[in-house]
Amino acid sequence: MSSADATAPRKFRFAAGGEGNAEEGGARRFVKLAQKAEELGYDSFMIPDHLGNQVGPIAALGALAVATDKIRLGTAVLANGFRHPAVLAKDAATIDVLSGGRLELGIGAGWMKEEFDKGGITYDSPGVRIAKLAETLEILDTLLRGQECNFQGEYYQINGLKGSPRPRQGPRPPIAVGGGGPKMLALAAKYADIISLAPPSNRDGKMLLSGITMEATAARVDRIREAAGDRFDDIELNWTITTIMPTDDREAMAEMALAALANGYPPNIEVDVTLTVEDILNSPYLAFGTYEEIADQIRAVRARTSMSYVGIFPTQMDAFAPVITQLKGE
């Protein structure tokens, strides 16, 4: 079966994001950023989770819960190793109640070794980080339903703890899991309501260039489809466009991107393949062209992969807003 399903496609949703760092105007401007995303028509506002130059996501969500009205609020994505799941469940349930049922809880295994090292937090092997995340997802699933959790895992033990407060969303707030490798995608397929598809990275956390193509992305979706079985149609698939470049000459912009990659820019990418201009223009993760061309490209991504939930990097919120106007309601 191909990645395009015979059933009607999911409607597009659009996620803006913010970190509250100096480039965005600092933590004090952070609330205004989320309010602006709401005004521009974004469906959700996501906060990443790093120990570096950004706001703390849990505290920030608490502030946004009362400073915004309609926009959904979430994390993209929490590093599981930073928090115990019993404590996280309490914070998440509280935010869901305070926001009137607008939380999307995104969580991953954690991948930036440097941050764990700087914070003095144990950075486990990939296998252990994924195993810990699997236990966390099981615990969150119980506690976020307001149920009593009794869990005896290898890494976490919960004894008769009842989830409270009871979240506003039923049966529980949606859980999003982000990942790019086969093990993470299989885990997400088992537990997640929303799966964030990232290109795989190497052991140093550099993103593999081979993972950004349409073909590689469709293959990741097929892997999820296989692992999810009957659950697949209930899962919303998300991806984040890393670069948006409005231009009248898509091909020239793609050639410039290829030249930059050949010169080692951006430095967080491992160039493990040689891509063509066509590969760049078809990639779900890059958006070059007029607003109409970018909208058509996003339609093509959904048609090929069934991904429908589009994320935007914090600094590109304004640049992408005209594309939302083109796609809203589709």
Give mean pLDDT in consecutive 10-residue pieces for the chain, a chain of 330 residues.
Answer: 64 96 85 96 96 95 97 96 98 98 96 92 94 98 98 98 97 93 92 94 84 96 95 96 96 96 90 96 97 98 98 92 96
Say how many C-beta atoms besides its own lie within 10 A of residue 200's C-beta: 17
In a domain, 8, yes or no: no
| φ and ψ at residue 102, rounded to 5 degrees | -120, 15
The helix (H) or strand (E) run that includes residue 183 is: helix 182-191
Residue 103 forms part of a structural domain? yes
CA-based nearest residue to 243, from 293, 197, 294: 294
Domain contains 90: yes
According to DSSP, the residues that pair with 46 across neighbouring strands are: 17, 74
For residue 253, give the H/E element and its range: helix 250-262
267-281 in b/e form (b: 16+ CB < 10 A) is eebbeeeebeeebbb
| Six-digit token string for 209 | 């260039």
Contact (CB, 8 A) for 41 and 328: yes
Neighbouring-strand partners of residue 240: 311
Q: How many CB atoms lie within 10 A of CB 202?
A: 11
Using CA atoms, how far apart are residues 126 and 118, in angstroms rounded to an integer? 19
Residue 6 confidence (pLDDT): 54
Main-chain dihedrals φ then ψ at residue 82, nearest 5 degrees = -85, -20
Counted domains in the chain:
1
Rounded distance between C-alpha atoms, residue 270 and residue 224, angstroms: 24
Residue 5 inside a domain? The answer is no
Q: Is residue 128 part of a domain?
A: yes
* CB 255 within 8 Å of CB 277: yes
Looking at residue 28, its pLDDT comes to 81
- Residue 2 counted as domain residue: no
Tell me, yes or no, whether 117 lies in a domain. Answer: yes
The enclosing H or E element of 13 equals strand 13-17
CA dihedral 64, 70, 287, 76 (to 10 degrees): 40
Structural domain boundaries, residue 321: 13-327
**What CATH number did the domain enclosing 177 receive?**
3.20.20.30
pLDDT of residue 1: 46
Report yes or no on 7 lying in a domain. no
Could you list the beta-strand ranges (E) of the chain.
Answer: 13-17, 44-47, 72-75, 78-79, 103-108, 148-152, 157-162, 175-179, 194-197, 207-208, 236-241, 243-246, 269-270, 286-289, 309-312
Cα angle for residues 131, 194, 266 (degrees, 5° grid): 80
Q: What pLDDT was estimated at residue 204?
A: 75
